[in-house]
Each structure stands twice: as structure tokens, then as C-alpha cells.
Structure 1
Amino acid sequence: MTPPKSFAPFRTPGYSGYWLTGLAANFGWHIQLVGASWAMTTLGGTPQLVALVQTSVALPIMLFSLPSGAIADALGRRTTVIWAQAFTLVVSTILAVLAFMGMLTPWLLLVFTFLIGSGKALNNPGWQTRVSEIVAKDTLPQAIALNSVGFNITRSVGPAIGGVIVATVGAFAAFFVNAISNLGVLLVALRWEKMNAADRLPPEPVGSAMVAGLRYVIMSPGILLVMLRGTVFNFAAISVMALLPLVARDLLDGGPQVYGILLGAFGVGAIVSAFAASGLRAKMSLEAVVRAGFAVFAVAAALMAVSRSMPLTLFASALAGSSWLVTMSTFNTTVQLSAPRWVLSRCQSIYMTVAFGGNAFGSLFWGYVAGDLGVAAALYVSAAVLIVGIGVGFVFALRELDTYGLDPHRPWTPPQISLDMLPKSGPVITTIRYRIREQDVPRFLGLMAERRRHRFRDGARRWVLSRDMQDPEVWVERYKTATWIETQRHNQRRTVAGARVAEELRELHREGGRPEVHYELARQPVVPGDHAPIGHVDH
């Protein structure tokens, strides 16, 4: 019997091992979070400090995701995951030892939680986008949803186990479990194939790689919309996760086991909804799915605020988990399907930066609201913010995806160069000459507007289009790249969508064949008295 479409990624070799390893690591992560959150309450933490546990997890992801994504794209996912997991293993072990020796204070706990979050920030872009190299594009949404299922299986079972561990042994045991769980990911990553450098240009410096990622996102309206909507959702919806220990303690008069059960209900709701997510996307538009996610989570937060009974709060938690999974996996899938491979980890990391920025500041904000007005009032306010978020969608609606256009085009063939060029030689000016009939000018200008966006997004600078004043049929496109190697990177980044624009421009070109392309090395004139030789090439 053919497995349901939701399980199609498991037929891909390598995905099952990847999924199971992530499952084990997430078990340790959720057990650690239960230990940290409840340890803060036993250390006498105020509502603000309890909420800061979630902030200390989200803040490093907000701060370090972009550098991590740049490192993953430049050095390879394998390298970043190995270093991240090794770091997390060491820090988690030290935290466990400190807890065992009774040396933890609220602020020391926050510091180590921040460090563990930093390890996850380094790991996440490489690990999460690794799935795009394992499964085919047509099963990528299902694979991302299954990853979320695994995450929420651990969220549903892990916190309950964590609550038992904390209640019977102590928080230090939860921290030890997390340390051990990192070993599996580390061992799997060590078995990944190393990046083949033979067919690649040298890695970009991290700084310029970060700039390239930011530039791509800024020039991609679809990704910007996802980030805006994701930030609003994360800011408002994190109220439930940040205040759930206080819901268990203050609204339900429970202990760590109750907190673990509530987290488990959240995870169960997410798991159930994951199998319906692909069906929803088939029947509803991208925007409709997101609006529904906002609305359902608002209802869940309001129910949790009004409830003083365990069954109703469990239902509210499960409803919140269902909405969280559908909404977040929709955002995640949209980002991964909206970026070409060369910048995928960076786009994912920038999305994570803004999303977890919403988590970090939201956790802090809702903690202070709960401290001043009470837990129930904070949940009511967050529900109101989610309703406002639905209204944002009427102004900034998400667009449907054109995934094929982002596939890489065929490899670029460098021109024959007569100068002695080094990778750092530059700046390089590229000019393309077109001959366009007068009646084709409106269409030509429309295509050039799209090409301009592609050029800037792929790294060009100072793009300009000019028209010959003596021969009006002649148009010249001109742009600059900083160095010769940046020129090569720029051309190798061309996608199918960019190639389609180029093909349409060739059809408008009157002279037949391809428009003339020239690569010129920019030079500064030599001032009399300078010692630079006439034949000097800038490097």
C-alpha cells in the first residue's frame, strides 16, 4: 500500500536517519527547557525572571542566526553543525554539573541557557536547510511538516518526562539528558559528505556573506512579507509558552508535572494538526492558512486566560499547539521555497532572527505584563494583538509561490580574459548592449525593471540603463561588482527566473544572437609623479 502523501519523505534515503536524530536531540532540548523553567521557579524567580528563560533561549537565535547562516552557506552545513553541537555538548555538561553541586543562581541559569541557545543558533540554519538537500522539492513541504511533527512529539512527551525527572531527581538530571542528546547529531553530522570544493568558488568572507544575504532578502518582497507576519505572530503567540509555568502554578495551583502535561498537550495538538497541514494548503490560499492560524491561537490564549480547570486549559493548550504548528511550518516552508540554494541558509537564518526576535521581546513583554496585571490579563492582551495581526494580513497579504523560478540556471562560462586578473582585481564594470525597436521599448523597460531587481539581489552595484542619444535604438545596461571573484559569484547566482528574463530580452534584441557583453576593469588615471607603472592592474 502506498504511504499517505504526508509520509512521502520517508521514502527518500537518508531522511529517516536525519529525522530520528533530530527527534532525539529535541527530546533533550525540551527536557532541558522544563528543567530550566522549573529551576527558575524553585530559585525564587519573579514572573519576569521566569519569562526571561524563554527570552534567554530566543535572544541568541535572534542575535547569531544571520552569522550562522552565512557560515553555513560559506563553509558548509556539516562544519557548522559539528562545531555547534560540540559547543552545546560542553556547555550543557557544565550546566548540569553546576546544578548538581547546588551552585546555580537565577542569573547564572539565564547565562547558561543563553549559551545553549547560542549553540542552537549556530546549529539551526545548517541543520534545518539540510533537509532541502535530502528530499525533492515537491516533497519539501511534507518534510518540513514532518520535522515539525518530530519537534512536537518531543514537545508533547519530552516535557512530561522532564517534569518527572525534575520532580524525582532534580533539574541537574534534565541538563545531563540534554548534554547526552547532542551526541547523536554530532555523530550523524560527522558522517555527512564533505563539501566538494572543486566546483565552487572560494567561500565568501562572513561579513560580505551576511551583507549578501541581507541584500537578497531586502530585494525579495515575498520573503519580507513572511518575516513581517512571522514577527507579529511570534511576538504575540509566545505569551502562551512564556507564561505556561505560571499558568500551571498560579491559575491551576499545580507543580512541574502539571506544567509538563500542559506542554505535552501543546505538542499533541501540533502533531494532530501537522497531518492536516498539507490538506489545508491544498484547499486554502497561503494567506488564508496564516489568518486562520492567528485566529485560532487568539481563541486558545483567551480560553487559557479564563480557565481554572485542568481539562479546559489542556484543550486550550492543544488548540494553541495546533495553530502554532500550522502557522510556523507555513512560514518556514514559504521561506525555504522562496530562496535559491546559494543563499538559502542565510534567508532561513534572517527569518529566524526576526521570528525569534519577536519571541525574545514578546517573552520579556508578556512577563512584565503578567507581573503588573496578572497572568490572565497578559493572555487576554496577547489574544487582542493576534486579532490585530489578522488585520495586518489585509494590507500585507502573503503571495503564492513560484518555486521553479528559483532553481539554479546552467553554470556560467567565464569569458576569455587577456589581463592578468586575480580574485581581488576590481572593480569590474559589466556592460550589455541591446538594439531595441521603438515599439518594443515599453516591454523592454518592464523587463529591465525586473532585471534590475535581480542584478541588485545577486550582488551588483550602481546599476544603470542608458539610451544612445545619436542612435536611439541602442540601449546599454551597465553595473559594477567590487572584484573579479564577485563578478563570477554574481553570474553563478542566476536562477531560472533570471534566465527567463534574459531570454525575453534576447528576443527583443534586433541584431540576432546574444547582446554584446563586455567586462571592463575600472582604472584610476596615473597622476604625474606617481610611481605606479602604466601597465599596473588594480588588485
Structure 2
Amino acid sequence: MSVKDAKVSERKNSPLSPFRHRIFLAVWVASLASNFGGLIQSVGAAWLMTSIGASADYVALVQASTTLPIMLFSLAAGAIADNFDRRKLMLAAQLFLLVVSIALTACTYFGLVTPWLLLAFTFLVGCGTAFNGPAWQSLVGEMVPRSELPAAIALNSMGFNIARSVGPAIGGMIVATIGAFAAFATNAFSYLGLIFVLARWRPVTPPRVLPPETLGAAMAAGLRYVAMSPKIGVVLLRGAIFGLAAIAIQALMPLVARDLISGGPFTYGLLLGSFGLGAVGGAFLSTRLRQALSLEALVRVSFVSFAVCAAIAGMSTTPFLTIPAMSIGGASWVLALSSFNATVQLSSPRWVVGRALALYQMATFGGMAFGSWIWGASAERFGTADALLISAIVLVAGAALGLRFPLPELKTVNLDPLNRWKEPSVAVDIRPHSGPVVITIEYVIREEDLVEFLSIMAERKRIRRRDGARHWTLLRDLENVNIWVERYHTPTWLEYIRHNQRITHADAVVGERLRALHQGPELPKVRRMLERPTGWIATHHIPPAREMADPLTDPVRSS
């Protein structure tokens, strides 16, 4: 390789390579400003709840009310993001957040805020975040090539944590000098830049060949895909446990500042700032650490390091110990969550990535919402220090869980659509909603290939069911034992088309291995049939037949 080629390769592999794409850079900068505002508002909300004399469980519920909507609405938001314009969805979410922030500013300025009203506003902020998250994260794949996706995810995490390292300290100063309403007003202004960038961006998107799925069907498809994807399932489990235990630090941080180290809003801001600064350091170190450690080892280290942070915060009575501990926690936080996020994105094709990310968010933020309530109640009953020590024990147990449920290694597989399948010509005047459709595929398999065939068919079953097939079965001919028939249903002809258009290059490997084992004179024989009840002919008009292409000469290479 020449020196010039080496430099080009280095630029492509650089952690900053996504910044070469102007729209990603513009949205990243605007999101950075919005993140500053959001963190400043978080400081204002948490300290306002503390200052109006609310109990410890109310203080912790500020965090819970922000994360609970993400658990409740993310799947619907992901389904909408996968079926409609992601940019418009993100723009609508930002406008909603702007209106909510303005209303919160006004209510705080005029002294109308009560604990329950503040929780209502933070819940609405969480709703906007729930609909913004899947759209924004899945939009990254439209801004940068898939090969640069991990770097783009790390940059997004770094941007948020740059804001975290400075924003809370600024928020603490604003609250201490002007008041909480000024923090909320600052956040309202911070949305304007991102709204402007999104309104001007006109991405080139491929035309949609098929109509969008209904919301219920799209949500069910997302649930089915994740349920039939073991790699993603492990991420959801580990993410939920990490969110449940690790949120104790953020939920109880105002009480740590006020009660354990006898500080005020500025001290609280410093703790949050130290947490964010550690997260920035973790983002910069993530690439090097992933080269030195396996993904599972990195996540276990993150669990244990966060447990150390929680234990020190619970036992320390001086900011000189608590502040460095928060830096350790911040680094562990970003290493764990960015690893989870990258694994989900690299394990999901574009047609379902929004829903997969939404389910990941639901699991992780659901753990955070439940954990915020648990740690708040624990702090109320046992004290803040004991609640943090209990969370540290849970984090260590979460690291040990990796022995039973390890994370898969990050591998970039080709999940782009295969685009080889063409809708076949049929003899019946079939309509998109005609169904159910029954598909059979006949294979001729030698006895010596049977073990390999059945092993491949187990993977075929998972892929079929994951992509929408129902009632999958494998049949063996009782007269000719070399003949095997794969059989499955789809509810309608339209769903049969969707099922085949979801086949990726990675999935096609399974079909190629099956065709290599098939010993027939031609390709495996495919039959497509429309299921009808026995009384259907008497009550329905039989549609006319028309000439049908021979399925054996059909250029389709995958059924």
C-alpha cells in the first residue's frame, strides 16, 4: 500500500471520519447545543424539586418521569420512524419539546409549579424524547455509510457527554444566580438550531414500493424480529439490568450533593459535570479499549467500574472523593451504553432498525425508570448512602450475569436488502390483501447430507419466522425419503411480498447452502397457493386465470 493510500485508509478509519459528511456535522453541532439545553433543564428540574421541599422519592421521580415515556412510547415511535419520513418525525418531536419548554418556563416564572406539575412537564419532555430518539438514531444510517456507523454512534455519545461535562455546571450556576426558570428558558432556545437544520435538510430517500404497515402490524413485526434475534435479545437484557442499577447515581445525585457532601446547586452541577467529563474520556478511549478487550470484557469492566463509583459516592463525605468517582461512573456509562447501541444497530437491517433501537431504549430506559423509583424509595427508607451501596451490589451481579448471557462480538455483516426477488406472475387475479398464502419449497436431499440440511433448516426457520412467516413446518415424504418440503404461511399476498423483500445479503447465505445440498435436476420447486375454506366457492366468484410463468424457470433465486 502506498503512503497516499495508507493516509486515505487512516482517514476512513478515523473516529472523526463521519464529520466528512456535512449533514451529519450540521446535525451533530445542532444536537450538541440541544443537549446543552436539555442538561441545563435537568439540573433546574431536579434542584427545583429539591428546593420546594419535596421528599426523596419525589426527587428521584424527576428522573423516572423523564425516562418512563421512553419505555412506554418508543416502540410506536420506532414503527413510525421505519414506515414514514424520519426527518419529519424528528422535526415534529423537536417542535413539541420547544412548546413544552416554553410552557414550563412560564409556569416556573409565575410561581405556579407544584411537585406534580413539575413531574407532568418532565413526563412530556420524556414523551418528546421518546419519539425523537428512534428517528434520530436510525437517521444516522442515512447520513453516513454503514462502515462509519460505529464511529458516528461514538461521536453522538461523545457529543452528549461533552454537553454533560459542562452543561450541568452551567445549569448549576444559572439556577444559583437567576433561578430554575432561566434554565428552562435556556433549554427552549437550544432547540431552535436543530429545528432550523432539520427544516432545511432534504435527504434523497428511495421511493417506497409498498404501502406503509399499519401501526399495530409494524409494532408486531418489530417485536417479532427482536424476539427471533438472539443477539439483540441479550443486549436488551443486559441493557435493562445496567439501566436499573446504574441510574441510582443520577437519580440520587441531588441528594448526594445536598446530604452526603453538604453542597448546593453548584456542587450538584460539578458532580454532573465530572460525570460528563468522564464520559467524554470514555468515548475517546472506547476505540482503543475495544481493540484490547472483547465486547463482553469491556461491558463487564463497565459494570464493575460503575459499582466502584456508586460505592465511593455512598461512603464518601467529601467532594474530593465523590467528584473523581463520578468521572469513573461517566466513563463506564458511555462505554456500556455505546456498546449496547452499536450492537443493536449492526445487528438490524434498515427496514426494522428504528424498532430495534426503540425496543433497546424501552428495555434500558425502562430499567432506568423502574430503578429511579426503587432507589428513591430505598433512599427514603434506608438513606442515600445505603441505597447507593445496594446499587453497587446489583451492578456487580450484572457483570457476573455475562458468564451466562455474554454479548456477541461486534461484526459488520451485510444487512442491505438482497433485492434479487421479483414478484412472480400468477394465474389467479390476486390482490394485495388476498390470503392466507401458503408457500411450499421442495428439496431433494441425500441421506449423507441430512444432518447438515436439518441444521441449516433450523436457521432457515428462525429467519422465516423473524421476517413474518407463520406456521413454518418441515415435511418428509413417506414414499421418497429424499424429498423434503418446507412449508409456511403469510396472512396476505402483500405480506408475502414484504417477507421476501426483507431478505438481506447475510440471509441469502442460508438459501445458497440449501441450494448446494439440493440434488434435483433444477432449482428447488416453489409452489404458491391461496388458502380457501371449503364453502368459499359457493359464496364467491372464482377469479379468472391467466398465463403463469413456470416457477422453475422464474429468475427468482430465493422464495
Q: State TM-score, norm by structure 1.
A: 0.96
Partner residue in 2 for 1:532:
540
| RMSD over aligned Cα atoms | 1.7
Pair 1:78 & 2:87 matched: yes
Matches of 2:169 and 2:182, distance apart in 1: 14
Partner residue in 2 for 1:232:
241
Matches of 2:339 and 2:261, distance apart in 1: 32
Matches of 2:200 and 2:523, distance apart in 1: 45
Instruction: Describe the SS at the equivalent of 1:466.
Output: strand
Q: 1:488 to 1:527 in 2, by over 3 A?
A: closer
Matches of 1:61 and 1:431, distance apart in 2: 41
Partner residue in 2 for 1:171:
180
Partner residue in 1 for 2:552:
none
Matches of 2:100 and 2:74, distance apart in 1: 19
The answer to whether the Cα contact below 8 Å between 1:57 and 1:117 also exists between their aligned partners in 2 is yes
The answer to whether the Cα contact below 8 Å between 1:249 and 1:255 also exists between their aligned partners in 2 is yes
Q: 1:168 to 1:512 in 2, by over 3 A?
A: farther
Query: Deviation digits for residues 357-412 of structure 1, max 9, x if unmatched?
Result: 10001000000111111111111110011111111111111122443143322342
The answer to whether the Cα contact below 8 Å between 2:429 and 2:543 also exists between their aligned partners in 1 is no
Deviation at 1:534, TM superposition (A): 4.0
The answer to whether the Cα contact below 8 Å between 1:35 and 1:174 also exists between their aligned partners in 2 is yes
Matches of 1:307 and 1:423, distance apart in 2: 66
Q: 1:502 to 1:266 in 2, by over 3 A?
A: same
Matches of 2:164 and 2:44, distance apart in 1: 13
Equivalent residue for 1:328, pick from 328, 337, 351: 337
Aligned length: 536
Matches of 2:279 and 2:359, distance apart in 1: 24
Partner residue in 1 for 2:364:
355
Equivalent residue for 1:135, pick from 144, 147, 165: 144
The answer to whether the Cα contact below 8 Å between 1:97 and 1:172 also exists between their aligned partners in 2 is yes
Instruction: Describe the SS at the equivalent of 1:442.
Output: helix
Larger mean CA deviation between 441-450 and 47-56 belongs to: 441-450
Partner residue in 1 for 2:23:
14
The answer to whether the Cα contact below 8 Å between 2:428 and 2:544 also exists between their aligned partners in 1 is no
Partner residue in 2 for 1:365:
374
Query: Deviation digits for residues 66-104 of structure 1, max 9, x if unmatched?
Result: 100000001131121122112111111111111111101
Alignment of 1:115-194 (within 5 A): 115-193=124-202
Query: Deviation digits for residues 32-56 of structure 1, max 9, x if unmatched?
Result: 1111001101111100000000000
Q: 1:302 to 1:497 in 2, by over 3 A?
A: same
Deviation at 1:22, TM superposition (A): 1.2
Equivalent residue for 1:379, pick from 379, 385, 388: 388
Matches of 1:495 and 1:197, distance apart in 2: 17
Instruction: Describe the SS at the equivalent of 2:403.
Output: helix
Deviation at 1:137, TM superposition (A): 2.5
Larger mean CA deviation between 104-113 and 472-481 belongs to: 472-481
Residue 483 of structure 1 aligns with an amino acid whose one-letter code is: T
Alignment of 1:77-116 (within 5 A): 77-116=86-125
Query: Deviation digits for residues 453-480 of structure 1, max 9, x if unmatched?
Result: 0000000000011011112221111110
Query: Deviation digits for residues 200-249 of structure 1, max 9, x if unmatched?
Result: 31111111100000001110111111111111111101000000000111
Deviation at 1:181, TM superposition (A): 1.6
Pair 1:43 & 2:44 matched: no
Deviation at 1:512, TM superposition (A): 4.0
Matches of 2:534 and 2:353, distance apart in 1: 41
Q: 1:531 to 1:449 in 2, by over 3 A?
A: closer
Equivalent residue for 2:475, pick from 449, 463, 466: 466
Larger mean CA deviation between 309-318 and 189-198 belongs to: 189-198
Q: 1:527 to 1:163 in 2, by over 3 A?
A: closer
Partner residue in 2 for 1:313:
322
Instruction: Describe the SS at the equivalent of 1:478.
Output: strand
- Aligned residues with identical type, % of pairs: 52
Instruction: Describe the SS at the equivalent of 1:514.
Output: coil
Residue 540 of structure 2 aligns with an amino acid whose one-letter code is: A
Instruction: Describe the SS at the equivalent of 1:408.
Output: coil
Instruction: Describe the SS at the equivalent of 2:431.
Output: coil
Residue 423 of structure 2 aligns with an amino acid whose one-letter code is: P
The answer to whether the Cα contact below 8 Å between 2:346 and 2:413 also exists between their aligned partners in 1 is no
The answer to whether the Cα contact below 8 Å between 1:73 and 1:342 also exists between their aligned partners in 2 is yes
Residue 457 of structure 2 aligns with an amino acid whose one-letter code is: M
Partner residue in 2 for 1:456:
465
Matches of 1:64 and 1:143, distance apart in 2: 25
Matches of 1:113 and 1:426, distance apart in 2: 46
Residue 529 of structure 2 aligns with an amino acid whose one-letter code is: E
Matches of 1:349 and 1:361, distance apart in 2: 17
Equivalent residue for 2:402, pick from 393, 400, 404: 393
Pair 1:494 & 2:497 matched: no
Matches of 1:347 and 1:453, distance apart in 2: 17
Q: 1:62 to 1:483 in 2, by over 3 A?
A: same
Larger mean CA deviation between 191-200 and 379-388 belongs to: 191-200
Pair 1:208 & 2:217 matched: yes
The answer to whether the Cα contact below 8 Å between 1:66 and 1:346 also exists between their aligned partners in 2 is yes
Query: Deviation digits for residues 1-45 of structure 1, max 9, x if unmatched?
Result: 866822222223322112111101111110111110011011111
Matches of 2:156 and 2:276, distance apart in 1: 13
Equivalent residue for 1:67, pick from 69, 76, 79: 76
Q: 1:512 to 1:85 in 2, by over 3 A?
A: farther
Residue 533 of structure 1 aligns with an amino acid whose one-letter code is: H
Residue 452 of structure 1 aligns with an amino acid whose one-letter code is: K
Q: 1:71 to 1:527 in 2, by over 3 A?
A: closer
Residue 400 of structure 1 aligns with an amino acid whose one-letter code is: E
Matches of 1:456 and 1:327, distance apart in 2: 30
Query: Deviation digits for residues 131-178 of structure 1, max 9, x if unmatched?
Result: 122222232222111111110111111111111111122111111121
Equivalent residue for 2:428, pick from 419, 424, 427: 419
The answer to whether the Cα contact below 8 Å between 2:428 and 2:543 also exists between their aligned partners in 1 is no
Deviation at 1:196, TM superposition (A): 4.2
Equivalent residue for 2:415, pick from 403, 406, 409: 406
Residue 469 of structure 1 aligns with an amino acid whose one-letter code is: L
Partner residue in 1 for 2:491:
482
Matches of 2:502 and 2:388, distance apart in 1: 46
Matches of 2:215 and 2:197, distance apart in 1: 25
Matches of 1:440 and 1:154, distance apart in 2: 58
Pair 1:290 & 2:299 matched: yes
Q: 1:508 to 1:376 in 2, by over 3 A?
A: same
Equivalent residue for 2:282, pick from 269, 273, 288: 273
Instruction: Describe the SS at the equivalent of 1:518.
Output: strand
Instruction: Describe the SS at the equivalent of 2:442.
Output: strand
Matches of 1:181 and 1:306, distance apart in 2: 37
Partner residue in 1 for 2:63:
54
Q: Which runs of 5+ in 2 are unaligned?
A: 1-6, 546-559
Q: 1:531 to 1:156 in 2, by over 3 A?
A: same
Instruction: Describe the SS at the equivalent of 2:113.
Output: coil
